[in-house]
Structure 1
């Protein structure tokens, strides 16, 4: 058991990264609008995530390089390299800076549901106290610059988040037969297609692939550790899937149709299932926000280092400048209540273009014996990943169109 916990690696950090406030909100809306019927979509997204993240982890362990670094060194055509590097930096660096405000604000919603809002006024500017506290927690965790400390802190938060959301789902006394039906008998109700795409899109995200390769090579340095990396990935992503499904189940247990986000869900649970449900969901929302507030700047720093050829050292000045910039912008936007809509839309377009490109590149690299030797993909893995790439293409097109429609 001691060896098991010692070998827990970046998997929980990846789960922490994809279960952010955005995922919590999408799962909440899915449960409120469609009950248990879209659980199959989350199950599908978890399967896709396992395959992609396992490849990313294996690539990091064997090559001892990050995905951004491999993109920079393996792409030979200068124009193609420039386009891909531009998309990577735009989607991950700029995008995470824009999304960071949502991560922090999501965590703040969880705290405010429990304790109410608290603010200070400086020169007629109202500042949310909880935003500053969450920003400070994320700053300290990252500034320590010790991977093991960050890993353990995030694993603690993931466990806290998992217990909170799973307990909330159990408190709602769900219909288990309806749950199994929703999970294993796919149904596409009227007006549910966009929600299905959103559920998959919040789980299968490009920045986690970059983050996973970088963290895997930090955690493991021997080829014999590939099995440990695979086990770590599967357990963590499946656990993350259960957490997401728990949110859907909790939301489906309420006879309401006007819940807009997880904070509303927490408030709505109290009169029906008691104060414990409200507290549990609020703690889960806080943990989801703070974990994503830590992993998003971390991923941005790893990506920038790989693209620009910097050493990926958590204590290096350039590495710290990147994550401080991303975190600082998130705190600023969240504090002022400013939503960088134009930047977010730009990031959505960049992510939409980047996701299938990265998935295709990852597939090609995973079949390159010069890089991976005997650890290349099997034929079955290739077939499944090709199907996933088609899925990522659909998600990418949807992301681009949705961003374009709102301009």
Structure 2
């Protein structure tokens, strides 16, 4: 979703021959041809960003307004493409990480990020484990308590990320995304959508009482700190310079096209299965258990079990994606202040800060599972978390329009328009989210 020039000049430029050139004009890095075989980091970021709560929000929007808000889901995917592309472009064009860019904007970014990853990680760890446990508890009733399922999911995620490099992590994520894709498309076909009504939903309209649901569809699905982690996964894949720009853009677009299919499929299910029958779902992850019950009543136990498997894949990809991606970001954060803790040449995934944050995401939240999230911590988590997406969108606008980015890879009018729109949207959602906190 970028509109930067396809050729680059001095200082990291691409000449007429399609190679990146150094400051002396010597060919340095050829632009790789965009190929499907390179796809990977985008699938990881899209799968991590789409959690069970996002799918519930989409289902509820479909159950309340039918296909009317389909256009908002499409715009939401375009917004995420723009944000992830901008993060990936910063990493490839500058050779610097996103945290390095934030740090160049002033010490306030470091203070915010430090507070964010500590509090957010503590509360998110408990939420991710609980979300992954819900479908397992439904698939295997009476095996063990739901909290124990949650602990097991957290420990499995810890062990998996601790002992595996990015290549294995990407392959497992891709398999789980395949499960999510097959299940959601199967459900969408199973409920027999009315395609005429669906196409009509591409026309932007706002029914009475739909504003918050519309903003949620545009800004919520796939919109988390993992968008910022995309550049780190791009580097982990081995894409280190502007020569990979075309590959990164293809990867990103395919990923969010896949996300769009998830969202549209769940909107179809909400519109056909819930809207017509007037069924209401519980908010949050438990709403998907309600949907499982509706599916079993309508289509039988097999369809319900298939859905629960997809529910687990959706939740567990978010868990291990955060365990890996945000730990990479934390390791980079520490490397800027305590380089001795991340020695040169040591893979980030083997560094002490990476593994320390993995432990932080796992063990303190286990205690939180049994405390049912203390009231004050939920307030702090909500406030800090609500500000992250505006922070990401607006700092990317700042970085990609400044001399920190080589001129040839700075934002054009389209990128600026999309990022500015995203920033304003997320500010509105931030205010709404803060207002809805249980003060």
Q: Which residue of 2 aligns with 1:122?
A: none
Secondary structure of residue in 2 paired with 1:314: helix
Q: Relative to 1, partners in 2 of residues 1:67 and 1:370: Cα closer, same or farther, differing over 3 Å?
A: closer
Deviation at 1:265, TM superposition (A): 0.3
| CA offset digits 1:259-281 (Å, max 9, x no partner) | 22011101111221233431222
- Unpaired stretches in structure 1, ≥5 consecutive residues: 120-125
**C-alpha contact 2:55 2:266 (8 A) present in aligned 1:** yes
Q: 1:5-404 maps to which residues of 2 (within 5 A)?
A: 6-72=37-103, 74-76=104-106, 81=107, 83-119=108-144, 128-182=147-201, 184-203=202-221, 205-219=223-237, 220-254=239-273, 255-260=277-282, 261-308=287-334, 309=336, 311=342, 313-334=348-369, 336=370, 338-403=372-437
Q: Relative to 1, partners in 2 of residues 1:152 and 1:249: Cα closer, same or farther, differing over 3 Å?
A: same
Relative contact order, CA 8 A, sep 6+: which one is greater? 1
Secondary structure of residue in 2 paired with 1:305: helix
Deviation at 1:373, TM superposition (A): 4.1
Q: How many residues align?
A: 389
Deviation at 1:37, TM superposition (A): 1.8
**C-alpha contact 2:67 2:197 (8 A) present in aligned 1:** yes
Q: Relative to 1, partners in 2 of residues 1:258 and 1:154: Cα closer, same or farther, differing over 3 Å?
A: same
Which structure: greater helix fraction?
A: 1
Deviation at 1:127, TM superposition (A): 6.5
Q: Partners of 1:93 and 1:209 in 2: how far apart? A: 18
**C-alpha contact 2:233 2:325 (8 A) present in aligned 1:** no
- CA-based RMSD: 2.2
Q: Relative to 1, partners in 2 of residues 1:351 and 1:157: Cα closer, same or farther, differing over 3 Å?
A: same
Q: Partners of 1:289 and 1:37 in 2: how far apart? A: 27
Q: Which residue of 2 aligns with 1:123?
A: none
Q: Relative to 1, partners in 2 of residues 1:322 and 1:156: Cα closer, same or farther, differing over 3 Å?
A: same
| CA offset digits 1:93-114 (Å, max 9, x no partner) | 4213212222222222222232
Q: Relative to 1, partners in 2 of residues 1:50 and 1:340: Cα closer, same or farther, differing over 3 Å?
A: farther
- Unpaired stretches in structure 2, ≥5 consecutive residues: 1-33
TM-score by structure 1 length? 0.89
Deviation at 1:350, TM superposition (A): 1.5
Q: Partners of 1:7 and 1:150 in 2: how far apart? A: 15
**C-alpha contact 1:59 1:372 (8 A) present in aligned 2:** no
**C-alpha contact 2:51 2:222 (8 A) present in aligned 1:** no
**Which moved further from structure 2: 12-21 or 324-333?**
324-333
**Which moved further from structure 2: 197-206 or 137-146?**
197-206
**C-alpha contact 1:19 1:288 (8 A) present in aligned 2:** yes
